[in-house]
Structure 1
Amino acid sequence: MDYENHYNSAEDKTIMIMVGLMVGLLVAAFDYSIMATAMPKVINSLHGMEYYVWPFTVYMLTSTISIILFGKLSDIYGRKHVLILGIIIFVVTSVMCGFATNMFELILFRGLQGIGGGILLSLPFIVVGEIFSPRERARYMGILASVFGLADVLGPILGGVITDTLGWRWVFFVNVPVGIAAVTLILYSLPNFKLPDVKKIIDYPGILTFTLTLSALFLGLTLAGDLDRYPLTEIGGFLVFSGFMFTLFILAEKKAVEPIFPLHLFKNSIFTVSAVESFLASALMFCGIIYVPLFAQGVLGMSATNSGILMIPMLFSLTMTSVITGQIISRVGKYKKLVVAEFIITGVGVVLLATMNMNTPYYLLVAYSTVLGIGSGMAYTIFNVAVQNAFALREIGIVTASVRFFRNVGTIVFVPVFGYIMNFTLGSSAGVTASYTQALALSIQNIFIMAIVLAFAGLIVAFFLKELPLGDTPNNS
């Protein structure tokens, strides 16, 4: 009877920890989908249409930087403390965003909010890696990753309802009660994991050069999306400066006692391949999330609401596949064949999407995008499990944060590239095609052709992924 009570108590605590982690992750995961719905009203209220993308891009920049910084700092100060700090930062800055009186303030506060968002996007996956054995991790990683799909499905709906009934400011204020619930659950359920043998030395040169490298790269790529507005000398200047800072960053990390991004991780082929694959998988997923709704509205003439409903099967399949993939890995203890399958399925999805034209019926668009969703959902779980299994427990924090970092960088790099392909095609098609709608259809088709190249590259790289069978006990330190 005592054993049964102990078992039930441990199981209850596991459930409570997972609920706390999922609620914390949900706060950040909802951000993009809710903001996308609310932004038109935000622009009407605060004006500054020319800065439309900046609240998104600044948030993406700061969250990507903080993924690595706080992944490393949590090694020193403990996962629990850093995770709670992330929720507090996110909630406080959400309130600040809600009270913004102009676009400059909103962009500034969104940048600060991204710091908390980056912590929330990486720390829950690190905690799961430390609590569970390699086989168990796969199952719980899949459950945790399903939060993103849930947020993508419900976010646009909630964003629309909140914006229309309460006003756009409540899109930010609603984070307060959810954040309080997450802090309460984590505070009372989660042990404070930290590495006892880590020196409490902060790598300031690494932090500075890393931040400047990514910021300059991000600005250069973002400005390159609108070559008519920004001169090539300005864009080139940012990219050259980024390259220079990257060189200094490498030198700083080689000398650092406790580097924020240990370069020896790349000596492990599983980490290197997983980083590349995460980079490509993220680009492929966002290709669908961004351009399927645009095709539905701009080419097929659907309303914004109906195009959002059309996306639900893709996002639902993404969520379910994430969970199912985790269950499969947990059961069989292997992952390489799933990586190959992931890029085959994703490749089939983008090949089908590349065949679309003005006469494509909406039900085929739903079917094609759902195939892409199935493949994209698999990537959420596989690479976290693979890299966590390849390293000792003391390095799980930084390797998990690094894989999440490369996912974000894939988005940062390819979203402007896709935008450039669309703008270039639209410009070169002017006067050649019969209508703007035809030109838009052709430009989106070219984007998916680019995605086919990325999917093929991902499939080739997948065969270089070394497979270490997953054990039933935690990694050795």
Structure 2
Amino acid sequence: MTANYENHPPLGKKKLIMVMGGLMVGLLVAAFDYSIMGTTMPQIINSLQGMEYYAWPFTAYMLTSTISLILFGKLSDIYGRKHVLILGIIIFIVTSVLCGFSTSMLQLIIFRGLQGIGGGILLSLPFTVIGEIFSPRERAKYMGILGSVFGVADVLGPILGGVITDTWGWRWVFFVNVPIGIMAVTIILYSLPNFKLPDVKKVIDYGGIVTFTLALSALILALTLAGEGGYSWNLIAGLILLSGVSFTLFVWAEKKAVEPILPLHLFKNSIFNVSSVESFLAAALMFSGVIYVPLFAQEVLGMSATHSGLIMIPMLFSLTLASIITGQIIAWTGKYKKLVIAEFIITGIGVVLLATMNADTPYYLLILYSTVLGIGSGMAYNLFNVAVQNAFPLREIGIVTASMRFFRNIGTIVFVPLFGYIMNFTLARATALTTNSQALVLSIQNIFLVAIVLALAGLAMAFFLEEIPLGGDEFVNPDGGEETNTPDMKGNY
């Protein structure tokens, strides 16, 4: 059964444009952070010393942002999107200033960890808001536009990072977030109603928060230490054991919680389960190209860092364009399953082509192959957000949207060190038998061979994805019965 669902809450066209602008600016702050830091870290290391801690600012940020995705996705269901989103931007601004004033690597690692809390909020809540102010079919179109921010950040981030660092110094990479963040807060404060659900109990799941944080922290630390090498396997095994025990306690806590941070009944929905796995795999496939295409260009083809960065622009541009076009197609057809199948076919072709690279591969083929991967990866940006938002009632849009970003992050956390291990393992054995360049070619080929397996797994999973056609002016309540959660002028339902 269906009930009427307003395409646009009565915000007015001008306010809707302002809301989209505020969400895009807020998302841009967090998206730029990922891409800018890569070009800035060498200067930071030179200034603060501590090469042995090179990866830890990234790890600290990834850890806290991944945890905050779930925590604040649920808290926004309780206290409203607007308040939590503004809190996230403020946290990001304040911690950016702290990062900029860091005088040691330890301080930077701590402040980056705090900054990740704000980053996690900014990476998920904008997509939740889109799910609440637009009808199911329109969501895809506007999520495609919103998702294009990542492509813009990926293209411009490394360039801006280099320019800012060379002109004003690395500290300004953090300070520049302040005026942009203030702009986002101002726009959102003025234009966005505070969407919240009156039937959600204001009860904090402290047991779930503690056990979830401990389980994920131990897992990420174990994977990071294993990827870096040089650490005791007993320590790594102990962290994995701690993670497993904490996860078990987390499941127990969620069964008893009045308002669990991650409701276990979500996993009874096949669309949620398939979309979670697909998001996990899609992130791994994208990063196989983002990380190892530039490495191949520099170390095998002998390109400079600048030229290898320029080679990535077509891939990242195609990723952005694919995200927008995919959203438009879903808005036009109201369906998404065939696009998921097509996404993994295109991504699979991309990694198959990349797996054929060798020392004689011309640069234009490298651009072509990576662009194919970019098209497939761009299609995946918002497909699964659309699918899960359409499969659950409005009261759970916050947590299911955050969950998709969570599983993308987990895919990155798991496979980046795994790819690194495959490369190191291959190099250690192939270097004795061939030249260093040929050994590197072989190691990168092995990484893309693993990516082919992941693409095939994603394609197989895609056929199990149930499709609920997206409504236009109507909102479908998958649980049956009428969906009466339509926001009014104040954002209440």
Sort the TM-score into its range (normalised by shorter chain).
Answer: over 0.9
Distance of 1:340 and 1:76 partners within structure 2: 35
How big is the shift at 1:12? Answer: 1.4
Q: What are the equivalent positions in structure 2 for 1:324-343 lying under 5 Å apart? A: 324-343=325-344
* TM superposition shift of 1:195: 1.0
Distance across 1 between alignment mates of 2:64 and 2:441? 34
Q: Does 1:468 align with 2:452?
A: no
1:60 maps to a residue whose letter is M
CA contact (8 A) 1:286 1:415 kept: yes
- 1:232 corresponds to which letter in structure 2? W
Instruction: Give, in whole Å, the separation in 1 of the partners of 2:84 and 2:392.
Output: 22
Hey, what's the Cα distance between the residues in 1 that align with 2:470 and 2:11?
27
Per-residue CA deviation, residues 409-432 of structure 1 (Å, 9 max, x unaligned), is 000111110010011011111211
Alpha-carbon distance in structure 1 between the residues aligned to 2:432 and 2:393: 60
Alignment match of 2:166 (pick from 155, 159, 164): 164
Cα distance between partner residues in 1 of 2:214 and 2:346: 37
CA distance in 2, matches of 1:290, 1:53: 14
- Say whether residues 1:302 and 2:303 are aligned partners: yes
Cα distance in structure 2, aligned partners of 1:291 and 1:357: 13
Give the letter aligned to residue 354 of structure 1: A
2:279 maps to what in 1? 278
Indicate the SS of the match to 2:84: helix
Structure 1 position 438, deviation (Å): 1.2
Q: Output the CA distance in 2 between the equivalents of 1:232 and 1:381.
A: 38
Alignment-derived partner of residue 217 in structure 1:
219
CA RMSD of aligned residues (A): 1.2
Q: 1:10, CA displacement in angstroms?
A: 1.5
SS at match of 1:467: coil
How many angstroms apart in 2 are the aligned matches of 1:97 and 1:474? 44
> How big is each residue's C-alpha offset from its partner over 1:345-403, in whole Å with a ceiling of 9 and x where there is no partner?
00000000000011111110000000000000000111000000000111111100111
What runs of 5+ residues in structure 2 fail to find an aligned partner? 1-7, 477-482, 486-493
Match of 2:132 in 1: 130
Q: Which has the higher contact order (CA 8 A, sep 6+)?
A: 2
Residue 186 of structure 1, CA deviation: 0.2
1:87 deviates by 0.2
Asked if 1 retains the 8 angstrom alpha-carbon contact of 2:9 and 2:133, the reply is no
- Sort the Cα spacing of 1:9 and 1:387 in 2 relative to 1 into closer, same or farther, 3 A: closer
SS at match of 1:225: helix
Q: Deviations over 1:56-100 (max 9, x none)?
A: 111001000000000000111110000000000000000000000
Please give the secondary structure, in 2, of the residue aligned with 1:474: strand
List gaps (5 residues or longer) in structure 1.
1-5
Q: Supply the AA of the counterpart residue of 2:160.
A: L
- Matches of 1:440 and 1:328, distance apart in 2: 40
Q: Could you tell me how far 1:226 is from its partner in structure 2? A: 3.0
Matched, 1:147 2:143: no
How many matched pairs? 470
For residue 22 of structure 2, what is the aligned residue in structure 1? 20
Q: TM-score of the superposition, structure 2-length normalised?
A: 0.94
2:432 match: secondary structure: coil
1:41 is the counterpart of 2:43: yes
Q: What amino acid does structure 2 have at the position aligned with 1:423?
A: N
Question: What is the letter of the counterpart of residue 448 of structure 1?
Answer: F
| Secondary structure of the structure 2 residue equivalent to 1:201 | coil
Distance in structure 1 (CA, Å) of the matches to 2:438 and 2:176: 41
Letter in 2 for 1:105: Q
- Helix, strand or coil for the counterpart of 2:12? helix
Q: Secondary structure at the match of 2:470?
A: coil
In structure 1, the partner of 2:5 is none
For 2:248 and 2:126, the matched residues in 1 are separated by: 31
Q: Is the 8 A contact 1:132 1:474 kept in 2?
A: no
Q: For 1:1-20, what aligned pairs fall within 5 Å after superposition?
A: 10-20=12-22
TM superposition shift of 1:139? 0.3
Alpha-carbon contact 1:418-1:447 (below 8 Å) kept: yes
Output the amino acid matched with 1:391: F
Residue 358 to residue 187, structure 1, CA distance change in 2 (3 Å): same
Letter in 1 for 2:444: I
Contact 1:299 1:440 in 2 (8 A): yes
